[in-house]
Amino acid sequence: MKSKNKLLFGSYEGLRFFLQVFLLALCILLAGSSLLVADPGPDYCETIDDAGRKVRVKTFPKRIVSLAPSNTEILFSLGLGERVIGVTSYCNFPPEALIKEKVGGFGNPDIEKVISLCPDLLVADSLSDKKGIVRKLEKKGLSIIVLAPETLADVIHTIRMVGTVTGKEKETASLIGEMEARILTVTTLAGRISPGGKPTVLYVAWHDPLWVAGSGIIINDLIEKAGGVNVAGDQKGWGILGLEEVLAKNPSVIIVNSGHGNAKDLPLAWVKSEPRIGNVDARKSGRVYQIDADLSGRFGPRIVEALEQFSRYLHPEAFEGDGT
């Protein structure tokens, strides 16, 4: 009877040990042969990531796993699509990302799955860092950089860091140049608006409860650079706002984050129809708008599209005909 519990390697533990050794050997083989990209050699580079960690990228990254949709968009925008071997189930842009191996959800990746792909670089986010995922993967000997931008300037810095680590300096310079030119167009036009002409803005992420954007985050930066004033700027980060506070702040413009799936238009419908905020200026003037959450909530190259959309909402007359 005991023989039924035995395997070729003597036991299940023996098989498991063999598989671990085999996987390690496979990772070494893949790291050496993956893609026809010149390898500058060991100790490729060091950088300080957005979490303040000193990261040593041991070899030229040829097998990259992204742990956030924003990171995936950055990698593909720099022409690194062929080197990306794994993404989260939420990474849906660009379309080419959809066919990549999935390593789990956003903020809760399957660690064993990640390890099985034998990456030589992981690109994580602040959520993964806060949940201890980065530390767990780092203990496995993997090179990980954390991206956590809080302003448009931070996004530019983050893209430059990724480009440097992956050897895509030329592509990075081109992308950043384009982004900075578009940002300058918006801020120049917004700069012509007198302080008294700047609309007060409320950004709604969800309606039940009413989650809104405060200061110290990218949404606040978008509002200000587009020529608006964040009425919830007196609170830090994301927070809940009571309906009586909405009435007191009386925003002249409300921008609503789109939901997802069947709830895509639910937050917008609530803001437009909730009778208790019917007397807010934004409601009375019909200046309630929706923005795609994938634009405003992903801190990669497409964040500039979100800025341009904010500008059209806040000052349509100023930006009309400027190609934004």
Statement to judge: residues 39 and 163 lie in one domain? yes
Would 10 be classed as within a structural domain?
yes
User: Does a cis peptide bond (omega within 30 degrees of 0) precede residue 209?
Assistant: yes
Domains held by the chain: number: 3
Which DSSP state fits 66?
E
Structural domain boundaries enclosing 84: 34-167
Q: What is the pTM of this model?
A: 0.86
Is 179 among the domain residues? no
Whether 4 and 42 map to the same domain: the answer is no
Asked if residue 42 and residue 78 are part of one domain, the reply reads yes
pLDDT computed for residue 217 by the predictor? 97
Residues of the chain with pLDDT under 70: 1-43, 319-324
- Tell how many helices (H) and how many strands (E) occur in the chain: 14, 13
- Same domain assignment for residues 50 and 6: no
Alpha-carbon distance of 271 to 254, in angstroms, equals 8
Alpha helices in the chain (DSSP H): 12-33, 69-77, 111-116, 126-130, 133-138, 152-165, 169-191, 218-225, 243-249, 266-273, 281-284, 293-296, 303-314, 316-319
68 and 132 belong to one structural domain? yes
Same domain for 93 and 201: no
Other CB atoms within 10 Å distance of the CB of residue 53: 14
Nearest to 265 by CA among 312, 207, 219, 310: 207
Cα–Cα distances in Å, from 6 out to 12, 13, 18, 39, 321? 7, 10, 14, 44, 75
Query: Is residue 70 one of the residues assigned to a domain?
Result: yes
3-state helix, strand, coil in the chain (%, to 5): 45, 15, 35
Residue 249 resides in a domain? yes
Q: Which structure tokens are listed for 320?
A: 């009309």
C-beta neighbour count of 34 within 10 angstroms: 17
Confirm whether 280 is domain-assigned: yes
CB 291 within 8 A of CB 258: yes
Mark whether 47 and 5 lie in a shared domain: no
Phi-psi region of 250 (alpha: psi -120 to 50; beta: other; left: phi over 0): left
- Whether residues 20 and 51 share a domain: the answer is no
pLDDT at 262: 84
141-151 per-residue burial string, b: 16 or more CB within 10 A, e: under 16: ebbbbbbbbbb
Q: Is residue 248 part of a domain?
A: yes
What was the pLDDT predicted at 317?
85
| 6 in the same domain as 75 | no
Q: Does residue 308 lie in a domain region?
A: yes
Tokens standing for 189?
């036009």
* 108 lies in the same domain as 23: no
Single-letter code of the amino acid located at 42: P
Residues 91 and 146 occupy one common structural domain: yes
Sign of CA dihedral 240, 244, 250, 256: positive
Instruction: Identify the CATH number of the domain in which residue 106 sits.
Output: 3.40.50.1980
DSSP annotation of 102 reads: E
- Is residue 301 in some structural domain? yes
DSSP-based three-state secondary structure for 234: coil
In this structure, are 7 and 47 located in the same domain?
A: no
